Chain A
Amino acid sequence: MADHTELDWNWAFYKELVEDVDENRNIIQCISCGKCVGDCPAAKVSTFNSRKIIQKVLRGDKSVLKDSDIWHCYLCERCKRVCPKENINIPLLIINLRNESFKRGYGPRYNDLRKYVEMSERYLTKGTVLEEPLGENLPQERIDELNTICDFARIKYVFKASKEKQKSKRKKS
């Protein structure tokens, strides 16, 4: 971090993110104390570093969207708890950055999301993420409501992609 000065700061990217998710405004309060990194489970097992990510955003460095780092966050919210500032919401910033990354086509590919295919399918056909719920199934009308809520969401594209893949597999065989 020492190789950067205040002159490097560029607010364009920060403003873009704040426009999208207003709560990101608070990351400007970050004093770079590093408590979030010291207590972070992801930092212990990967190169994830929330302090560096905030610094990159504040410097307008959009390469953060291509970094695989943002996909290693555990969203455990421990950083939020230990942060000496009141309203810095790093997990929400990470979710926002992942969204931006998806939009620009840097997000995980279909293969990385394959674990979600079954869960998405179950959610949109049964309203649960497991094979069956404990107890009664959700009525079909209510499942239709969930499908309406999820219109145009990535969850539907993941589900559709799985259907298309199944079809092409069937054709090949």
Chain B
Amino acid sequence: MNFNNLALDLHEIEKEYPENPLDYFKEKKICLFKACLEKYFPGVRWGFQDLLEELQLESSTCLNQSCCSGTFFQRNLITRAQFSAINERNLNEMNQQADIAFFSCNGCYNSLLRGRDFLKNPEVRVKTQEILNSISKKVDGERYPGIYNILENPKLKLVHDLDFLYLIRNDVLNTLKFDLGNLKVAIHYGCHYLNLSRDKKTLDSYFGSKTKLEGLIELFGGIPVDYQERESCCGWGASQLLINPREALKITYNKLKSAENVGADFLLMPCPTCLYTLSKPEYRDNIEKWFGEKLEIPTIHLNELIAILRGCEEERCISLTRKTPRLEEIFEIITQQ
């Protein structure tokens, strides 16, 4: 059985479509993986959906897809085989309706790749298939045949939104109404994007994907600023923020403070979980209470930023229910050009 990683081969696309990589995605069926935390930041999904529509790409979500369950695996509440079975079930469902699944969340992306990686272990593979068989016995087999099996050679490929957006950056640029007007942007990649071990094989892949956000910011007319805690964790830490909040918020504090210190206008990231941690008002209040400093640097997801730059309505791209400090100020600076 082939358990090669399901990540979309971006180098291959660049080679095949050197003029315009976007052509590869035309005619492909795209499924947007639903990250739980998009509930709090709907602009992360809507902003991306709107962009795809403008680029004339067909996209949908998968009704039968569940949460990736990474949070439960990381806290030992489910086993490796159960985790792999949940992910394989989601892959089965998406594989029925799409060619490519897009991910706005580092955690979900990492979960699906990791669940697949666990299947290389024969014991986990057998247990996973047993679990999937136990579902098949209970469900209506006519819904579609072969449900649910470990997929040997799924047509479905997985890609992180950031990797896709960077690949088609010139097409994205053409959709923008505004530029960043030299705003200074501190970049946060998030651990599960930055530390993906599958990138360790060659120097090119190890370093290559770690400057994509900087590249996009420059292209959009902003200035990426380096700061000491650029590569540090947001503080979420597989729910450490819930279990050991004071320790975890110290990490969040260091990150935000470090970005403020270099004069960044906002902090940009490609993950809603990091966004939640770095922007939640309750966490900012606790930072002030425990570390004696009020930090007000705004935080934005890449998909939301592109929506703002495309001139999307404020309510749709950054949703005003979100009380991130000074976010409206950034929105106004960009859109009043």
Contacts and interface: CB of A to CB of B under 8 A. Distances in A.
- A and B part of one assembly: yes
7 contacts: A45-B247, A45-B248, A74-B237, A78-B231, A138-B65, A153-B77, A155-B77
B39 A134 contact: yes
A134 B63 CA distance: 11
B197 A80 contact: yes
Interface stretch (B67-75, B153-161, B165-173): B67-75
A96 to B, nearest CB: 9
Contacts of A153: 77-79, 82
Interface stretch (B8-16, B130-138, B218-226, B305-313): B130-138
A116 B139 contact: no
A72 interface: yes
B63 A115 contact: no
Contacts of B65: 138
Interface of A: 21-23, 41-42, 44-46, 71-78, 80-81, 86, 89, 95, 98-99, 102, 107-108, 112-113, 115-116, 119-120, 123, 127-136, 138-139, 141-146, 148-151, 153-155, 158
A128 B66 contact: yes
B176 interface: no
A23 B121 contact: yes
Interface residues of B, number: 57
Interface of B: 34, 36-40, 42, 45, 61, 63-67, 69, 71-80, 82, 85-86, 89, 121, 123, 131, 134-135, 138-139, 191-192, 194-197, 200, 231-233, 237-240, 242-244, 247-248, 250-251
B39 A71 contact: no
B74 A120 contact: no
Contact of B36 (A76, A78, A81, A128): A128
Given A42-B237, A44-B251, A130-B39, A155 B45 contact: no
A74 B76 contact: no
A72 B89 CA distance: 31
Contact of A149 (B77, B82, B196): B82
Nearest to B247: A45
Contacts of B36: 128-130, 133
A134 B237 contact: no
Contact of B139 (A127, A134, A145): A145
Given A135-B61, A153-B77, A148 B237 contact: no
